[in-house]
A and B are shown apart, each in its own frame.
Chain A
C-alpha cells in the first residue's frame, strides 16, 4: 500500500497539479478503506462460521467482492505508470534484378524508394538492380470477431 501511494505521488510529480494530487489521494483512501473493510468482513466470516453459517457465507461473499474490486482498482493505478514508448515498425526493402529475377530482402535504409535503381546484379553485370517494394509486416494477428 505504501508502494501504491508512492506510485501515485510519482505520477503526479510531472504535472505538479495539487487538484490531481487531492483526487488521487482521495481515491486511494477510499480504495484502502474498502480493502480494510473487506479484510475485516472476511475475518468476521471466519469467526461467525462456528455459530451462523449463512451469515458467515454472506459476509465472506461481501468481503471477497469488495477485496476483488479494490484490488482491481489498485491494479489500475499501477498499470498507468507503465512506461510509454512509440514502437518503430521494421520496414523491409525488396530488391529485384529485372533480368534474372534474383530477389533480396533487406532492412530499409534511408534514401530507399520504390523504383530506385541500385548497383548492378552480381550475376548479370549489365543490368541494374531495382527496388520493387518497401513495406512493413505486421507481426501480431489482428483480433477477428466472428460476426
Chain B
C-alpha cells in the first residue's frame, strides 16, 4: 500500500514544541546565510578593519600636520599663518625621470633631486623667516615637513584603495589592502615619531653611521666637502683615516656620493679601502643594535649616491667594505634607541679590525658614516 513520505523526518525540526521549532529553523537560516553571504560578511569585517586603520592614519596625519605647524610657528616666527603654505607643501610631488631608455638616468635623477631639495628648502625659508639664516633649524624643519608629507601620502593611498574597494565591493581589492595594512600602520607610526624627533632635533636611529663618524673625528679639524658633507683626517691604527659624514647637527643626509668621489679624486685613487657604516634593515628575530659586516656600498636612498661611489671604486679598483647596525624601519626614523647608541663602540672595533686586516700601514682609508646626522655634531 502506498504511504506518503514522512516529511517530518526530512528535516529534524526538533519535535513539537513551537519554541524549539523556531530555534532550529533559525539555525538553518543562519547556516544558509553564512553559506551564501559568508564571503560578503567577511568582506564587511575587513572593510571595518581597514576603516579603523584609516581613522587612525587620519588622526596620525592630522597630528603630524599640527606638530609641524607648531614647530614652524615656534622656530620660524612667521608673521602670517603658515597653515596654507604647509598644506601646499604636503601635496608636493616629484616626477621621476623617464626610464624607457635608462642610459644617463642617474644624472637626471640627481639633478631632479637637487632641484627638489633646493625648492623645498626655499619654501621652508619662506615659511619660517626667522630661521632662514640658521642652516640647522631649516634642515630640521625640512625633515619635519618631509615626514608630514610621507604621512599625508600614506593616508591618501590607503584611502584611495579603501574607497575603491567599497565602490567595487571587490573582496580582492579590500583583501590586498587589509593584508599589507599592519606594515603600513607600522611605517606610519614610525613617521609620526620621526616627526617629533625632527621637530626637536633629536638624533634618530638612521644616525648610527654619522654617530660613529662623529666619535672617530671628534677633536680633529674638519673641512667641508661637496653637498653638505664634512671630512676630518684622523690617524687611526697606523693608517690615515679620511672620515666623512653629513654635516650636523641639523637634519641632513648630505650627498656622500659626491663627497667620496671628491676625496678619491683628490687622492688620485690612492686609497687602501673604503669602509661604509650605515643603519641596516633588520629582519624580524634579529636584535636591534646587532653589528654585521660585509662588502659593497652600504647606502640607501634613491641610488644616485650608491651609483657614484660604485663608479669611482670600480675605476680605481678600490675594495669596499661595509659595517651595518641592524634596526627596523621604526627604529631608523624614531629617536635613537639605547641599543643603537651602545653599538657605536662595537662598530668602531669592527672598523679598526677591517683596517688592520685589509690595508697596509700608512695607507689612506676612507670611512663614511652614512645616514641622517640630525642631533649629531662633530
Q: Could you list which residues of chain A lie within 8 angstroms of chain B, going by C-beta atoms?
A: 14-15, 19-20, 23-24, 26-27, 30, 33-34, 37, 40-41, 44, 48, 62, 80, 84, 86-89, 91, 108, 110-116, 133-138, 145, 147
Scoring A20, A37, A114, A138 by chain B CB atoms within 10 A of each residue's CB, the highest score goes to A114
A89 and B334 contact, CB distance less than 8 A:
yes
- 6 A-B pairs with least C-beta separation: A113-B249, A115-B377, A135-B341, A136-B335, A135-B338, A84-B59
Contacting residues, chain A, for B341 (C-beta < 8 A) = 133-135
Q: Mark the stretch among B40-48, B226-234, B269-277 that contacts chain A.
A: B40-48
Q: Can you pick out 29 interface pairs between chain A and chain B where the beta carbons lie within 8 Å of each other?
A: A20-B47, A27-B41, A27-B44, A27-B45, A33-B26, A37-B30, A44-B19, A44-B20, A44-B23, A62-B27, A86-B63, A86-B193, A86-B196, A88-B193, A88-B196, A91-B197, A108-B200, A110-B200, A112-B201, A113-B249, A114-B248, A116-B249, A116-B377, A134-B203, A135-B203, A135-B337, A135-B338, A135-B341, A137-B337
A142 to B60, CA, bound (A): 23
A14 and B44 contact, CB distance less than 8 A:
no
B55 and A14 contact, CB distance less than 8 A:
yes
How close is A85's CB to chain B, nearest CB, in angstroms?
9
Q: Is B192 an interface residue (CB 8 A)?
A: yes
Scoring A15, A110, A111, A113 by chain B CB atoms within 10 A of each residue's CB, the highest score goes to A113
A115 and B19 contact, CB distance less than 8 A:
no
Q: Is B51 an interface residue (CB 8 A)?
A: yes
A44 to B15, CA, bound (A): 12
A89 to B194, CA, bound (A): 11
A27 to B42, CA, bound (A): 10
A136 and B336 contact, CB distance less than 8 A:
yes
Q: Is B376 an interface residue (CB 8 A)?
A: yes
Query: Would A23 and B203 be within 8 Å (CB), given that A86-B63, A113-B376, A113-B377 are in contact?
Result: no
Contacting residues, chain B, for A111 (C-beta < 8 A) = 201
Binary A-proximity of B194-227 (CB < 8 A = 1, otherwise 0): 0011001111000000010010001000000000
A133 to B338, CA, bound (A): 9
A41 to B20, CA, bound (A): 8
Contacting residues, chain A, for B249 (C-beta < 8 A) = 113-114, 116
How close is B167's CB to chain A, nearest CB, in angstroms?
9
A113 and B285 contact, CB distance less than 8 A:
no
A37 to B47, CA, bound (A): 26
Query: Would A138 and B337 be within 8 Å (CB), given that A114-B377, A115-B214 are in contact?
Result: yes
How close is B356's CB to chain A, nearest CB, in angstroms?
26
Query: Would A113 and B203 be within 8 Å (CB), given that A41-B23, A91-B335, A135-B337 are in contact?
Result: yes
A145 and B285 contact, CB distance less than 8 A:
yes
Among B320-352, those with CB < 8 Å from A are 334-338, 340-341
- A147, closest chain B residue (CB): B285
Contact of A108 among B166, B192, B202, B214 (CB under 8 A): B202
A116 to B250, CA, bound (A): 12
Q: Is B39 an interface residue (CB 8 A)?
A: no
Query: Would A114 and B211 be within 8 Å (CB), given that A44-B19, A86-B192 are in contact?
Result: yes
Q: Is B52 an interface residue (CB 8 A)?
A: yes
A37 to B27, CA, bound (A): 8
A135 and B335 contact, CB distance less than 8 A:
yes
Query: Would A91 and B202 be within 8 Å (CB), given that A41-B23, A137-B338 are in contact?
Result: yes
